[in-house]
Chains A and B, each alone.
Chain A
Amino acid sequence: MYGKQKLKQIAENVLKFSKADQTEVLLSVSGNSLTRFANNEIHQNMAWQNLGISVRVILGKKIGVASTNSFDESSLKHVVERAAELASFQEDDPNFESLPEPLKYKTVEQDIAFATEEELARGVFTVIQKAKAAHFTASGAYANDVSEIAVANSLGIFAYHAGSSCNLSTIVIGKNSSGFAADVARTAKEVDAETVAKTAVNKTQESADPADIEPGEYEVILEPQAVSEMMAFFQWYGPNARIYHEKSSYLSDKMGQKVFGDNITLIDDPFHDLVFPMPFDYEGHPKRKIVFVEKGVLKEIAYDSYYAKRYGAENTGHALPAPNTLGPIPLHMYIEPGNMSREQMIKKVKKGLLVTRLWYVRVLNPKALNITGMTRDGTFLIEDGKIVKPVKNLRFNQSIPDALNNVVSIENKLTQLASFEGELIGLAPTLHIAKWQFSSGTLF
């Protein structure tokens, strides 16, 4: 950890060295520990730390970016010179107007927690013991991530935020089945390894001896992990100003129109009680809660400073680190909860499948937002409102808009889901969807 003052000093040095019209510096500090386990033993156990320094230099309307991870004076001078040199080679970007001006952002109480190697190993051991007791093998990872981010620019922005997370996830494997569970929290003390172990072991037991099942159209109960995996691609290709204005998004030209069912409200809230807050974006612009889709109607999309100025829209604080060729992307989006419990939702299914997770989801056509992928780690047949048996995994080919236009019910709570390395938390409810297209089966 470098702390706010040290990072401010580095940022000021960078800005001092630059003679460009505008300059921006992004500092990213990471201190990570990760204990991985498989076959009921720890096999990879590691820690690493880094400080990334990325400098964006503007000469008129020419832009160059250079980065380094050394912060001695000569390295900082060199990275600024390199960024300026790259900018000088450029043609003007006629659509660029300016880096963002400083605006007050909501400060969030710092809450940093370092986990010891022993704490991580102990959590892992809890999972392994439970799996062993059930004659299963456990694999997974327990990560502790501590990060600092600071953004400064020559127009006066200086924004700083620090945060940390602990994320334990496991897949417990039986003879012909598997079960997934995870928990994420600020500190290792808050991570409930016992429940993670119990949930994964139970899923493995429940999904043993899966039956063959014919692919086709089924009702589905998608558990929160599966919902999150489906919605990831909507985050990237949906309310993204770059793709929207290229007319390559499903949402293009549909502002104010009905795009999903009445029961779908999509919110991006970086300050939600259940997420790790992010008070500003990677340009230092303040973030706020935004409703992208309200009762099925498209209300807003995500902008950063470049696309906001280009299209005369408000900057919504969705910039990624420069140079960004992906466009502005919401990182805290979720479906607003409904009014039924998971159990009530299952009772409403006549004949359908309960899906724990999706796997290897890929977009077939980004404009149509249709995706393919597999089910994984627990798929079950539901008949007349009851889970009757586990089934083998299936491949699906499904349009996301079709799914969101056929949501029967939404769970009354959100589940926290860590991103792969834990630094972001997504939120998702369980969904009951009337039609889901499964196209082929696999051998397990």
Chain B
Amino acid sequence: MLKQAEEILSKVPSQVDYADVRIVQQDSEDIATKDGVVEALESSSSQGYNIRILKNGVWGFAASHDMSETGIDATIKKALTITEASLKHKTTDVCLDDWEAVKGTYKTPIKEDPFQVPMEEKLQLLIEADKAQRVSDKIVVSQASYQANRERKYFAATNGSRIDQEIIWTGAGIEASAVEGTEFQNRSYPNSFRGQNQTRGFELVRELDLVQHAPQVGQEAVNLLTADICPSGEFDLILDSNQLALQIHESCGHAVELDRALGYEASYAGTSFLTPEKLFEFQYGSPIVNLTADATVPGGLGTFGYDDEGVPAQRTYLVKNGIFEDYITSRDTVTKLHEINKQYNRKSNGTVRASSWSRLPMIRMTNINLEPGGEDGTGKAWKLDELIADTEYGIFMSTNRSWSIDDKRYNFQFGTEIAWEIKNGTLGRMLKNPTYQGITPQFWNSCDAICGRDEWTVWGTPNCGKGQPSQVMYTGHGASPARFRNVKIGVVKW
């Protein structure tokens, strides 16, 4: 296939400034069970290619599933026609950074190929886990899900880059919903919205041990029906790592996307309060807050060998000792940043991906991580038990239920499935309908303790939406439980 990508590239007229070709094959398996019965069992395959051309300082992009000679010729012609339409209204030139050509291969290291595990075994595991959640007749819906994805990407560019990659990711989870009268509660394991997902094989699913955890999931959903409502006020908040992962995603990950900060996503996803003049100066968080974009973390859902512009995977500090240090970038946005902020002279840090062959590659989160306590500049490596014992009064929240943030990434509000009250250093009563709200930099500046690497998990977020047309991307977030002081809690009552 890499040879075919080269052949397509060779048909692009030589007068272009730059061109690249990506051939992508995607295979996936999805299983969803509901109430002990398989509700969805699907196997999908999709293959196609795209041609991205930079000519006279403007981009053109065309994609097709038609890999015949006439199909390829038509796609190249379309991409060139598009550059001509853009050229008529050009105001500035697109410039690429000077990343040199790369020749490489990458394959996700896995122990057990999920596509080779017998389907009967997968179904049995899910149905057993689904049924094991039904610990009470108050459970009205029990569900289990599994997904496996394999993406083969072949990349050839006029600068000489030649890359082939195979990314595999797998995920699974369970969820129980309980109803009593008008009260509705749900619990998930190990995380809400499709469980845990990582660039790993079926070994991840086995490690999750869904069946073993299922009864507790069902019981907690039932217990929540009669739990007390989360109190309202400004309290200390400890976030479990699965909720902190989404907090990072929304209030840091999207905020550091350079295309957003430069206004290129203003029409849909919005912009960012982290504007370029804030680089190297803005106090984003407290001194122990260190956030990284790291596409090299083993198992991270945003882990790969090379991005879709042929730039190698990297680890970059976004926030170091609380100070805003960098964006996640692409080859054509860093050159814009060079013009705006003369102190910034870095090349792309390799975060560009497309969700399929038919989509334009754009800046996407890789693994955006809060570095664990006990490491360079992150303070003490707390244990969760110690952190609770050190909290006089507070709320411990786990597992996301709702999320929302404004279009500059300032005002956020999250709800979680469950919470517990902390009184005099002890975890007490279970609380339902917990919510908290804040303003991003104020919130991160209130972080005073982060648990250590022993409790650090790279959570997968497989449903990150961005761009027009919409692209759903898989991203990762390393996090361990952390404490935030004086947060507005219980902002909604129902």
Q: Which residues of A contact B (CB under 8 A)?
A: 32, 34-52, 63-70, 79, 82-83, 85-87, 89-91, 93-95, 116-118, 120-121, 124-125, 128, 137, 139-141, 143, 169-171, 173, 178, 246-248, 322-325, 359-368, 370, 372-374, 376, 393, 395, 397, 399, 420-421, 439-444
A86 to B86, CA, bound (A): 47
| 8 Å CB interface, B143-195 against A | 177, 179, 182-184
A245 to B408, CA, bound (A): 40
> Nearest-CB distance from A311 to chain B (Å)?
15
Q: Which residues of B contact A (CB under 8 A)?
A: 30, 32, 34, 37-48, 50, 58-66, 78-79, 81-86, 88-92, 119-120, 123, 127, 140-141, 177, 179, 182-184, 262-268, 270, 273, 358-360, 362, 401-408, 410-411, 413, 415, 433, 435, 437, 439, 468-470, 488, 491-492, 494
Q: B89 near A439 (CB under 8 angstroms)? A: no
Q: B60 near A49 (CB under 8 angstroms)? A: no
List residues of chain B with CB within 8 A of the CB of A248.
140-141, 177, 179, 184
List residues of chain A with CB within 8 A of the CB of B40.
65, 322-325
**Given contacts A36-B468, A367-B179, A393-B406, is CB(A323)–CB(B41) below 8 Å?**
yes
**B83 (CB) vs chain A CBs: closest residue:** A45
> Nearest-CB distance from B222 to chain A (Å)?
15
Q: List 11 A-B contacts (CB under 8 A).
A: A46-B360, A67-B44, A67-B46, A70-B45, A143-B469, A246-B179, A247-B140, A248-B184, A361-B404, A363-B402, A365-B184
Extra contacts besides A89-B119, A325-B39 (10): CB < 8 Å: A44-B264, A46-B61, A47-B61, A66-B43, A143-B469, A247-B179, A325-B34, A361-B404, A368-B184, A420-B468
The tally of CB-CB contacts under 8 A between chains A and B is: 268
A420 to B141, CA, bound (A): 31
Q: A51 near B65 (CB under 8 angstroms)? A: yes
List residues of chain B with CB within 8 A of the CB of A420.
268, 468-470
Q: B468 near A395 (CB under 8 angstroms)? A: no
**Given contacts A49-B66, A118-B85, is CB(A368)–CB(B408) below 8 Å?**
no
A421 to B266, CA, bound (A): 16
A68 to B65, CA, bound (A): 11
Q: B38 near A91 (CB under 8 angstroms)? A: yes
> Nearest-CB distance from A58 to chain B (Å)?
12
Q: A32 near B37 (CB under 8 angstroms)? A: no
Q: A95 near B37 (CB under 8 angstroms)? A: yes
A247 to B35, CA, bound (A): 14
- Residue among A38, A49, A89 making CB contact with B65, cutoff 8 Å: A49
Q: B402 near A140 (CB under 8 angstroms)? A: no
- Residue among A43, A65, A139 making CB contact with B42, cutoff 8 Å: A65
List residues of chain B with CB within 8 A of the CB of A121.
85-86, 88-89
> Nearest-CB distance from B280 to chain A (Å)?
22
- Residue among B141, B184, B270, B358 making CB contact with A50, cutoff 8 Å: B358
5 closest A-B pairs by CB: A323-B40, A367-B184, A117-B85, A442-B411, A46-B61
Q: B404 near A43 (CB under 8 angstroms)? A: no
A91 to B119, CA, bound (A): 12
- Residue among B65, B120, B413 making CB contact with A69, cutoff 8 Å: B65
Q: B492 near A444 (CB under 8 angstroms)? A: no
List residues of chain B with CB within 8 A of the CB of A368.
182, 184, 494
Main secondary structure of the interface of A (DSSP, over half): strand
**Given contacts A121-B85, A323-B39, A421-B469, is CB(A45)–CB(B61) below 8 Å?**
yes
A93 to B32, CA, bound (A): 13
- Residue among A63, A69, A362, A376 making CB contact with B41, cutoff 8 Å: A63
A35 to B359, CA, bound (A): 13
List residues of chain B with CB within 8 A of the CB of A32.
469
**Given contacts A66-B43, A90-B41, is CB(A42)–CB(B491) below 8 Å?**
no
Q: B492 near A370 (CB under 8 angstroms)? A: yes
List residues of chain B with CB within 8 A of the CB of A49.
63-66
Output the residue of B34, B48, B362, B413 with the most chain A CB within 10 A. Answer: B413
- Residue among A79, A367, A442 making CB contact with B410, cutoff 8 Å: A442
**Given contacts A90-B41, A359-B407, A439-B492, is CB(A45)–CB(B267) below 8 Å?**
no
Q: B41 near A117 (CB under 8 angstroms)? A: no
List residues of chain B with CB within 8 A of the CB of A43.
59, 264
List residues of chain A with CB within 8 A of the CB of B86.
35, 42, 45, 121
**A399 (CB) vs chain B CBs: closest residue:** B494
**A375 (CB) vs chain B CBs: closest residue:** B406
Q: A171 near B267 (CB under 8 angstroms)? A: yes
A444 to B411, CA, bound (A): 10
> Nearest-CB distance from B191 to chain A (Å)?
17
List residues of chain A with CB within 8 A of the CB of B406.
359-360, 374, 376, 393, 395, 442, 444
List residues of chain B with CB within 8 A of the CB of A137.
263
**Given contacts A45-B86, A139-B267, A360-B404, is CB(A395)–CB(B413) below 8 Å?**
yes
Q: B90 near A41 (CB under 8 angstroms)? A: yes
Q: A364 near B435 (CB under 8 angstroms)? A: yes
- Residue among A39, A86, A360 making CB contact with B263, cutoff 8 Å: A39
- Residue among B41, B90, B407, B439 making CB contact with A86, cutoff 8 Å: B41
- Residue among A39, A70, A141 making CB contact with B268, cutoff 8 Å: A141
A171 to B66, CA, bound (A): 35
> Nearest-CB distance from B426 to chain A (Å)?
29
A117 to B414, CA, bound (A): 42
Q: B263 near A173 (CB under 8 angstroms)? A: yes
**Given contacts A89-B41, A140-B267, is CB(A48)–CB(B63) below 8 Å?**
yes
> Nearest-CB distance from B177 to chain A (Å)?
6
List residues of chain A with CB within 8 A of the CB of B85.
35, 45, 116-118, 120-121
> Nearest-CB distance from A276 to chain B (Å)?
17
Q: B469 near A366 (CB under 8 angstroms)? A: no
**Given contacts A170-B267, A173-B266, is CB(A364)–CB(B492) below 8 Å?**
yes
> Nearest-CB distance from A136 to chain B (Å)?
11
List residues of chain B with CB within 8 A of the CB of A52.
46
List residues of chain B with CB within 8 A of the CB of A69.
45-48, 65
**Given contacts A47-B62, A50-B48, A66-B42, is CB(A440)–CB(B123) below 8 Å?**
no
> Nearest-CB distance from B57 to chain A (Å)?
10
List residues of chain A with CB within 8 A of the CB of B140.
246-248
Q: A440 near B184 (CB under 8 angstroms)? A: no
**A125 (CB) vs chain B CBs: closest residue:** B89
> Nearest-CB distance from B65 to chain A (Å)?
5
A247 to B139, CA, bound (A): 11
- Residue among B89, B177, B407 making CB contact with A376, cutoff 8 Å: B407
List residues of chain B with CB within 8 A of the CB of A360.
404-407
List residues of chain A with CB within 8 A of the CB of B405.
360, 374
List residues of chain B with CB within 8 A of the CB of A393.
406, 411
Output the residue of B39, B40, B42, B433 with the most chain A CB within 10 A. Answer: B42
**Given contacts A41-B90, A49-B66, A94-B37, is CB(A395)–CB(B411) below 8 Å?**
yes
List residues of chain B with CB within 8 A of the CB of A139.
263-264, 266-267
List residues of chain B with CB within 8 A of the CB of A63.
38, 41
List residues of chain B with CB within 8 A of the CB of A397.
413, 491-492
List residues of chain A with CB within 8 A of the CB of B494.
364-365, 368, 370, 399
List residues of chain A with CB within 8 A of the CB of B37.
91, 93-95
List residues of chain B with CB within 8 A of the CB of A178.
266
A137 to B46, CA, bound (A): 38
> Nearest-CB distance from A400 to chain B (Å)?
12
Q: B439 near A442 (CB under 8 angstroms)? A: yes
Output the residue of A370, A373, A443 with the most chain B CB within 10 A. Answer: A443
Q: A38 near B492 (CB under 8 angstroms)? A: no
**Given contacts A34-B469, A41-B90, is CB(A46)–CB(B411) below 8 Å?**
no
Q: B182 near A39 (CB under 8 angstroms)? A: no
List residues of chain A with CB within 8 A of the CB of B89.
41-42, 121, 124-125, 128
